[in-house]
Amino acid sequence: MTTKKFSKLDYSSLEDLIPSDVYLKAVKSAYGLSEVTLNETDPTDKMITHQVDEYLKTKGLGKIDKLKITEQLLPLFDDISKEICNIFVPIFLEINEIKKTLDK
């Protein structure tokens, strides 16, 4: 199972399933930034983590630290829990179906 089934991208990660405005809010908080401008013109790589990584490197902030961002992201889920749940429910339903198959 991959995130491709749940994302509009050919290559994606869990971060790509989260609304980009929410993810970027966490990035700004994690790195103390007032804004984050992504290069969305490169059609070969639209994964948000890769875009953020490139942005951070251009700003001299080093390589992306997903844990640092996740620590800022989790509290944001409290405010938008229904929206986030609607994103992840299909994933958990599929995981449960796979588990049923494996348990047979």
What ranges do the domains of the chain cover? Answer: 11-103
pLDDT tens digit sequence for 37-88: 887 666 556 889 999 999 999 999 999 999 999 999 988 877 777 778 888 8
Helices and strands, counts by H and E, the chain: 4, 0
Joined together, the tokens standing for residue 67 give 């844990």
The overall pTM is greater than 0.95: no
Integer angstrom CA distances of residue 96 from 66, 83, 89, 100: 27, 21, 11, 6
Enter the DSSP assignment of 79: H
Give the per-residue pLDDT at 42.
61
